[in-house]
Amino acid sequence: MDSVTYQPLVDALASGQPQSVVDAANLFNAADLAGFIEQNLDAETGETLYRSLPLALRAKVLGYTSQDTQLLLTQATPLDELALLVAQMPSDDRADFYSLLDESRQQQLIKTLDDEDRKDLTALLAYPEGTAGALMSTDYAVFESGITASEAIEILRKTAENKETIYQSYVIDENRVLIGVVSLRRLIVAKPDTVIDSLLATGLVSTHTDTPQDDVARLIAKYDLLALPVLDEQNRLAGIITYDDAMDVIEAEATEDIHKGGTVSNLDTGITTASPFSLYRSRIQWLVILVFANIFTGAGIAHFEDIIGAHLALLFFMPLLVASAGNAGAQSATLVVRGIATGDVVNRDWLRLFSKELLVATALGLTMALTVWTVGMFRTEIAIATTVAITMIAVVLAGGLIGILLPLLLNRLGIDPAAASIPLITTIADVSGVLIYFSIAKTILGA
Amino acid sequence: MDSVTYQPLVDALASGQPQSVVDAANLFNAADLAGFIEQNLDAETGETLYRSLPLALRAKVLGYTSQDTQLLLTQATPLDELALLVAQMPSDDRADFYSLLDESRQQQLIKTLDDEDRKDLTALLAYPEGTAGALMSTDYAVFESGITASEAIEILRKTAENKETIYQSYVIDENRVLIGVVSLRRLIVAKPDTVIDSLLATGLVSTHTDTPQDDVARLIAKYDLLALPVLDEQNRLAGIITYDDAMDVIEAEATEDIHKGGTVSNLDTGITTASPFSLYRSRIQWLVILVFANIFTGAGIAHFEDIIGAHLALLFFMPLLVASAGNAGAQSATLVVRGIATGDVVNRDWLRLFSKELLVATALGLTMALTVWTVGMFRTEIAIATTVAITMIAVVLAGGLIGILLPLLLNRLGIDPAAASIPLITTIADVSGVLIYFSIAKTILGA
C-alpha cells in the first residue's frame, strides 16, 4: 500500500509555531491526520496536532479515530467546547461518540444541543447496536414531490454542508413516506424544468431500522448503492446508510466470522490493540469446553484398551486417521459457514450439499486410503494396513458430512453457524474417528 | 434481507406479450433483473426476459450476472449484435467479458470496436488479474486545469452518460499527470466562476496500476473514497476504481482467506456453485500433505511405546492434551492471520505479540491445568494427574506461540500467512504435544 509521508507535519510540530502546524495540516486529509494522531499519541505530538486543528476539522478527524482515542482526546475538553465539537459531528458519529461518554457528561452535554439535534440523538441512541437504525445517519437530502430539477439543485447547493451525501436525494410525501430516490447525476443531466418525479430511479431499494447490519451491507453491495434509505414501521424515511459504513461492516463481519471460526469469541478489536485480559476472556471459554469434549475421545480410547494392547501398531496410525477426519470436516464446514454468511447457501440446500459431499468425500477418502495403505505396507502387516485404509474412507466421509450438517443445523436452530468452528468440528471428528477406527480394527483383527 | 417480489415479471412472461414483459421489466432495477434471470435460466423464462430487454439494459444486466451466465446468454448472439452489446458496456465490464470469450470470437469482436475502445480494451487486458489495472475503469471524467466550476458542470452534463461516475472528476496537466480531484459536491456549492484548481480535495490519494486489489480496497475503505484514481509508471491517470468494485474485492478476499484458513485452496466460487471435481481438487492437496505430517505424530507415539505400555492411563489424557495445544494455536493463528490481512498486524510487531501471547497463553494454560488436574484426580493416581496438569501448561504455551510465530514467519518469507491454516497449526501442535507429554511423563513417572 502507498504510505503517507508525514514529514511536513513532523517539521511543523518540531518548530513549535502554531501557524506552521495549521499550514502543514492543510496538506493532509482527515483520515491521514487521524492516522498521524493515533501513531503519535504517546509522543504527545499527536495530541498537539489535534488541538491545533480548527473545530470543524477536529470533529471530522475524530470520526476516523478509534473509540479509545476519541475518549483520550476529549477527556479534558471543557463542556462548552465539547458542545461546539459535538454540534459539528455528522449525526451517526455524534450518536456513537455520545454513547462513549460517562453518564454525567452525557446529561450535561445533551442539554447544550438544540431541540432538533437532541430529538435526533435520542432517536438514534434508541436503536439496538448492530441494526440499520444504529448505523444510519439522519443528515440526508430530502425533496417534496413536484419540484423541478433546477429547484432541487438549488436546494442541494444551499444545504450541502450539513448533508452526509447530496448524490442521492429522497422524495417523500406529506407523511414523510418514501416515494423514491433521485440521483444528482440525473438532476444535472435533466432539462432544468423537469419535474423530479419523472427522474426517480427504477426499482426502489430500501430497508427498515431493525434490519441487521450485515444484511444492510449485503443490500448496498448487491445493488451497488451509494446510500440505502432506512424506513421506520410506518415506511417513513428515518435515515440513510452510506457505502463507506457498509464497507466497514463487511470488514468487521468478516473479522468476527473468522475469529469465531477459530473459537475466539466477542473480541471487537484486533490482536494488536486487544488487552491481554480481553484476549484471555475471549479464548478461555471454548478451550475449556473443548477439553471436556475431548474427554470423550479419551474415554473412547480407554474403551478399546484390549485391542490396542494386543496391536500396539494401531496407535501409530491413530493420529493421522483422526486428524484426517477433522481436516475433511474443517474443509466442508468452512465452505458451508462462509456460504451461509455470503448468502450463497440457504437451509433448503441441505440435501443437495449433503449429496455433493457424499461424492466429494468418497473421492477424497479413496485417494487418502490409497496413500495410507501404501505407507502402511512399508511399516506394518497387511491386516493393519487394510484396517487403516478402510478406516480412512469411513472417517473422511464421516468428517466431511459432519462439516456439512453441523453448520446447517445450527443455522436452522437460529444459532450463528460460525459457531461450527474448525476446533469444534475437529473435536467431534476426533471422537467419531477413534470409535470408527477401533471398531473396524476389532472386526478385522478380532478382539 | 428484504426480498424482491417478481410477480409482475412472472405474470408478464406468462402472458407471452413482448410489450408486457418490457413494461414489467421497467419496474425493476438491473440487479434484480439479473437476479431473476439467474434464478430462471433452467426454466427458460430467464433467457426470454433477457432477450426482451433493450440493448443498453442488457449490457447493464450482464454486469450483475455470473461469468457462466454471461457466456450462456451470449453464446448464440450474432457477431453484429454482440458488437453493439459490447460497445454499451462500461470499460471494466467489457474487458472482463471479452476475456471469457474463446479466441476466435475475441478476434472477430475486437475488429468491430472503434479505435479508441480497441486501444482501451487492449490496455486493460494487459494488466495481470488481481491488480488495480485489471480492476479499473477508463470511463472517468477529466478536466484541464484552469476552467471554472460552471464550465466543469457543463462538461459533466454533456458527458455523464459514458462516465462510471461524475461525482469525482480528475484534473490533469498537459501530460495527463494527475494534479488533483474535485467532487461534484464542491463544484455545485462553489460560485459558478470559481476556478476548479481552488476546489481540489486536500491530501490526494491515488495508487498505481500494479497495486494488488486488496490494497486498493483497503485504501478506498480507509479514506471513504467514492473512487480511487490509478496512475501508470509516469504518474499519468490510467483509470479509476469505484467503491462498489472495492466492496466486491473485500468480500471476495475475505472468502479466499476463510477458505485458505480451512485448507480449501484456489476455489473462486462457493460450495453451492462449485463442481464436485473442483471441490475435490481444492481439498485433496492439503489433506494428503497433512496425512504425511501426522505420520510424525504417530512416530512420536511409537517412540514412547515403553512408557505408554507401562502407564496405559496416559493414553486417556492424550487427546485432550494434544487437542488443547492445537486449539490454543488455532486461536492465536486466527488472530494474527486476520490481523495481517486487515493491516492491523505488521512483521515488526512480532516481539510485542510474542510477549503478549506468553502472558495470555500462560494464563490460559494455568486455568486449563487446574481443570484437567481436577478431572484427573477423579480418574487416576496423583502422579499422572500432575503429569497431565504440567503438560497442559507446556502444550498450551507451545501451541499459542506456534500460532503467533508461524503466520508472521510465512508473511516474512513472502508466503500468504493465510496458509497457516488451523489444520496445519493443529498438526504441528499435535506433534509437539505428543513429544512434550510423553517426555514429561517419562521424567515424572520414570521409564
Q: Do B291 and A316 touch (CB under 8 A)?
A: no
Name the class of domain B276-445. mainly alpha
Chain B residues whose CB is inside 8 A of the A243 CB are 226, 243-244, 247
Per-residue pLDDT tens digits for A5-35: 899 999 999 998 889 999 999 999 999 999 9
Grid coordinates 457462466 are at which residue? B68
Beta carbon pairs, A and B, within 8 Å: 379
* pLDDT recorded at residue B3: 65
Query: Using the 8-state DSSP alphabet, how is residue A160 labeled?
Result: G
Whether the per-residue pLDDT at A1 is higher than 90: the answer is no
Q: Which residue of A has its CA nearest to B65?
A: A222
Q: Provide mean pLDDT across the span B26-31.
A: 92
Per-residue pLDDT tens digits for A167-223: 999 999 999 999 999 999 999 999 999 999 999 998 899 999 999 999 999 999 999
Tell me if A7-129 shares its fold with A276-445: no
The answer to whether residue A233 neighbours chain B at the CB level (below 8 Å) is: no
Determine contact, residues B57/B90, Cβ cutoff 8 Å.
Answer: no
Per-residue pLDDT tens digits for A438-447: 999 999 987 5
Whether the per-residue pLDDT at A2 is higher than 80: the answer is no
Backbone φ/ψ region at B352: left (φ over 0), alpha (ψ -120 to 50), beta: alpha
Q: Which residue of A has its CA nearest to B274?
A: A356
Give the domain ranges of chain A. 7-129, 141-252, 276-445
Average pLDDT value over all residues in chain B: 91
Q: Do B284 and A427 touch (CB under 8 A)?
A: no
Whether the per-residue pLDDT at A233 is higher than 90: the answer is yes
* pLDDT recorded at residue B24: 92
Q: What is the percent of chain A where pLDDT is above 90? A: 67
Of the given ranges (A132-136, A257-261, B243-247), which has the lowest mean pLDDT?
A257-261
The answer to whether residue B71 neighbours chain A at the CB level (below 8 Å) is: no
Whether the per-residue pLDDT at B166 is higher than 70: the answer is yes
State ipTM: 0.87
Length of chain A: 447
CATH topology of domain B141-257: CBS-domain (3.10.580)
d(CA B398, CA A74): 42
Determine contact, residues A322/A433, Cβ cutoff 8 Å.
Answer: yes
- Enumerate the H helices of A160-228 as residue ranges: 184-189, 213-222
- Enumerate the H helices of B262-312 as residue ranges: 276-303, 305-310
Chain A residues whose CB is inside 8 A of the B188 CB are 153, 156-157, 160, 166, 184
Average pLDDT value over all residues in chain A: 91
Q: Do A247 and B247 touch (CB under 8 A)?
A: yes
Residue B236, beta-bridge partner list: B177
CATH 1.25.60.10 fits domain B7-128: yes
The answer to whether residue B213 neighbours chain A at the CB level (below 8 Å) is: no
Calculate the CA B441 to chain-centre distance: 46
From A241's Cα to the closest Cα of chain B, the distance in A is 13
Determine contact, residues B29/B63, Cβ cutoff 8 Å.
Answer: no
Listed ranges A266-280, B31-45, B141-155, B292-306; the one with the highest mean pLDDT: B141-155
Whether the per-residue pLDDT at A375 is higher than 50: the answer is yes
Chain B residues whose CB is inside 8 A of the A181 CB are none
Q: Provide mean pLDDT across the span B376-399.
A: 90
Chain B residues whose CB is inside 8 A of the A205 CB are 29
Per-residue pLDDT tens digits for B325-353: 999 999 999 999 999 988 889 888 899 99
For B:265-324, CB contacts with A below 8 A are 267, 270-273, 276, 279-280, 283-284, 286-288, 290-291, 294-295, 297-299, 301-302, 305, 308-309, 312, 315-320, 322-324
Q: Provide mean pLDDT across the span A332-357.
A: 91
Nearest to A202 among B26, B315, B339 (CB): B26
CATH architecture of A141-252: Roll (3.10)
For A:422-441, CB contacts with B below 8 A are 422-423, 426-427, 430, 434
Q: Closest by alpha carbon to B402, among B343, B345, B288, B324?
A: B324
* pLDDT recorded at residue A420: 86
Selected from 1.10.3720.10, 3.50.50.60, 3.40.50.1820, 1.25.60.10, the CATH number assigned to the domain covering A7-129 reads: 1.25.60.10
